[in-house]
Amino acid sequence: MSGRTANRIRDAGVKARFALIGIPDLENPTSVQESQLRDWHDSGKVEWWGYCSDIPAVLTMASIACLPTFYGEGVPKALIEAMASSRAIVTTDIPGCRELVAGGRSGILVPPRDIPALSAALESLILDPDRCRQMGTAGRLMVEQSLSLQQVLKETLTLYEGLVPTKVAE
């Protein structure tokens, strides 16, 4: 999510509030720099809230969670938390993220670094709150059924049991 994305949506006449949560990763050269975040915030394009320890409280203020990442990071915990909070998600079509969208039921996938597609996806959900709520409900159900801690632990243990020999050689 960038100031350009927020501007495109506002320029289309859509009223929305955009908040960025988190701090730059100083060890990652592709991380958005703090000066850029401050510029977006100071210009009124987005609100940059910085580090927030109470993500459930943040999610109660949101209708949509957006993570337009463009590098592999596995399955993002931020998206799972948003889905567990019944929030529709908008994210990029990369491994780890695409598996969470479940055929478009829990959110919308966009190509990496495609600001027009990202803007269109966000705008479509902002303008259709019923669809947004339906996606949030579907995401919550997906988390309950296949992404709960108990389910993940069960599948992990099953995987490891398959790797460990059942009989030790004498």
Q: Where are the domains of the chain?
A: 3-163
d(Cα 48, Cα 119) in Å, to the nearest integer?
18
What are 16-64's pLDDT values in tens digits? 999 999 999 989 888 889 999 999 999 988 999 999 999 999 999 999 9
Q: ∠20-24-26 over CA atoms, to 5°?
A: 175
Q: Does domain 3-163 have CATH number 3.40.50.2000?
A: yes
What are 70-84's pLDDT values in tens digits? 887 789 999 999 999
d(Cα 122, Cα 84) in Å, to the nearest integer?
19
Identify the residue with better confidence: 102 or 92: 92
